[in-house]
């Protein structure tokens, strides 16, 4: 068996091409069955498909390299020649190494991002449901998930913010002991605010207010996190209830002025309010920072946090690479050990046949009236001669031909002290 991986990701293909070869959850079972049935050499298969990558993890016969690229292109009606320059292929331990790096977040667009591990597990689950994941891939996935867990628990790979969206939520968690108890207002509905919303939701924050000039966009985002959508005209009322306000609208002038925040704080009786302005130009007037009990941060303030977090993640990534290397070495030793299994079985079977033959001969000698001592001595001599006949002939032949490697191997194999004398 050999592992075989074919894929493309954010480093090898533009998003326009990645979109064309993505698998949605509905078509995945059929795709897996088709893939494993179309190629006799493919024993098992799984597919990982995210916005940043599409990868096929396969268990194949050693002598086979299936034309998976052609299948992938045909399945998605994409020209194979267009696809080929963007595709990478890994086999055997290189495939195992790649899978470990992917599951550990080392191959992600955002270094160390945690979502990929869940997506990897979803891919495994889908393959199991489609019955295309058997013993060989299960064993590989077990190794991959084990090292990914070690990377998560033994290194700080995902603990430091590397985006302003994550940094804003991380900073809020330092000010408020329990974010889930906070009322959060997000102003805007673009990509940055979407990321903030996902991070907040992941921290257990519920009932988030999403305020946006275009209400439909606010409604789409709010629905994805179980929040509430409001038009921009409701901003003043929403801020009165807010412990945390994060903005990123792209508006040419501030949408939150000092007066609006002052009025909100009177209603709130000066309870602390954490505010983050991720927009350029600014969404929140700088003068807001002059108000008591207001903690206002801009994108420039967070950039230093992001740079620090990125440096820490890079240090953690180096630690993770060491863990992966250790796991891969262990896996390689296991694979080498498997190669001896058939040989050991054959050796034992041969010895068992010889033993049974000599036992039958010994029983006949006893039945013929020969003494037990004589029979046991003969049995011992016969077993020794039979077991060592073939190795003795091979060793003598190797010595005559000047090949000492077999002699040295025999010393190691049978723990024989001393070395053979040679000219």
Within this chain, do residues 201 and 145 fall inside the same structural domain, yes or no?
A: no
The string of pLDDT tens digits covering residues 125-138 is: 999 999 999 999 99
The string of pLDDT tens digits covering residues 241-270 is: 999 999 999 899 999 999 999 999 999 999
| 276 lies in some domain | yes
Within this chain, do residues 168 and 154 fall inside the same structural domain, yes or no?
A: no
| 393 lies in some domain | yes
- Please give the DSSP secondary-structure letter assigned to residue 120: H
Domain that holds residue 393: 339-414
Within this chain, do residues 54 and 150 fall inside the same structural domain, yes or no?
A: yes
* Residue 49: CB atoms within 10 Å: 23
| 329 lies in some domain | no
| 32 lies in some domain | yes
Least confident range from 160-169, 234-243, 320-329: namely 160-169
| 314 lies in some domain | no
We report the CATH number of the domain holding residue 201 as 3.40.50.720
Which H or E element spans position 76?
none
Please compute the mean of the pLDDT values over residues 168-176 and round it to a whole number: 90
Q: Which of 27, 51, 133, 182 is catalytic?
A: 51
Domain total for the chain? 3
The string of pLDDT tens digits covering residues 4-20 is: 999 999 999 998 999 99
| 278 lies in some domain | yes
For the stretch 153-157, contacts whose Cβ atoms lie closer than 8 Å and that sit 24 or more positions apart, written own/partner, are: 154/319, 154/323, 155/316, 155/317, 155/319, 155/320, 155/323, 156/312, 156/313, 156/316, 157/104, 157/105, 157/106, 157/111, 157/112, 157/313, 157/316, 157/317, 157/319, 157/320
The string of pLDDT tens digits covering residues 39-81 is: 888 999 999 999 889 999 999 987 678 889 999 999 999 999 9
Within this chain, do residues 402 and 272 fall inside the same structural domain, yes or no?
A: no
Which residue, of 279, 303, 327, is where some domain finishes? 303
Say how far apart CA 41 and CA 68 lie, in whole Å: 11
Which residue, of 159, 193, 213, is where some domain finishes? 159
Instruction: Answer whether residue 174 shows pLDDT above 70.
Output: yes
Assess whether 51 carries a catalytic annotation. yes
Within this chain, do residues 40 and 108 fall inside the same structural domain, yes or no?
A: yes
Within this chain, do residues 281 and 171 fall inside the same structural domain, yes or no?
A: yes
| 332 lies in some domain | no
Within this chain, do residues 124 and 256 fall inside the same structural domain, yes or no?
A: no
- Please give the DSSP secondary-structure letter assigned to residue 226: T
């Amino acid at each position: 068996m050999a592992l075989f991986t074919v894929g493309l990701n954010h480093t090898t293909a533009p998003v326009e091409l990645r979109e064309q070869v993505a698998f949605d959850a509905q078509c995945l079972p059929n795709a897996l069955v088709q893939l494993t049935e179309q190629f006799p050499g493919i024993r098992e298969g799984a597919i990982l498909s995210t916005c940043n990558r599409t990868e096929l993890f396969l268990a194949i016969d050693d002598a086979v390299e299936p034309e998976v690229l052609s299948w992938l292109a045909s399945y998605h009606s994409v020209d194979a020649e267009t696809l080929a320059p963007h595709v990478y292929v890994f086999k055997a331990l290189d495939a195992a190494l790649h899978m470990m790096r992917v599951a550990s977040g080392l191959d992600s667009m955002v270094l160390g991002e945690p979502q990929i591990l869940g997506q990897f597990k979803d891919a495994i689950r889908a393959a199991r449901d489609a019955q295309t994941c058997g013993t060989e891939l299960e064993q590989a996935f077990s190794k991959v998930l084990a090292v990914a867990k070690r990377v998560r628990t033994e290194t700080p790979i995902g603990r430091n913010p590397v985006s302003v969206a994550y940094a804003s939520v991380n900073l809020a968690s330092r000010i408020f002991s329990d974010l889930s108890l906070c009322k959060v207002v997000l102003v805007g509905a673009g990509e940055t605010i979407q990321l903030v919303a996902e991070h907040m939701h992941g921290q257990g924050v519920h009932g988030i207010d999403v305020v946006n000039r275009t209400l439909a966009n606010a409604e789409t985002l709010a629905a994805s996190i179980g929040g509430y959508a409001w038009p921009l005209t409701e901003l003043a009322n929403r801020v009165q209830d807010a412990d945390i306000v994060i903005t990123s609208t792209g508006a040419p002038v501030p949408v939150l002025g000092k007066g609006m925040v002052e009025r909100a704080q009177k209603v709130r009786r000066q309870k602390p309010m954490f505010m983050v302005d991720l927009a350029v130009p600014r969404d929140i007037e700088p003068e807001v920072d002059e108000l008591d009990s207001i903690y206002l941060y801009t994108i420039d303030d967070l950039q230093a946090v992001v740079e620090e977090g990125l440096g820490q993640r890079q240090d953690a990534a180096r630690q993770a690479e060491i863990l992966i290397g250790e796991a891969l070495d262990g896996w390689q030793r296991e694979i080498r050990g498997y190669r001896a299994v058939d040989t050991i079985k054959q050796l034992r079977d041969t010895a068992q046949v010889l033993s049974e033959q000599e036992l039958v001969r010994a029983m006949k000698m006893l039945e013929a009236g020969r003494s037990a001592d004589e029979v046991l001595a003969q049995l011992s001599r016969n077993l020794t001669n039979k077991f060592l006949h073939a190795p003795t002939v091979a060793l003598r032949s190797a010595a005559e031909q000047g090949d000492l490697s077999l002699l040295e191997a025999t010393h190691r194999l049978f723990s024989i002290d001393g070395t053979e004398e040679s000219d």
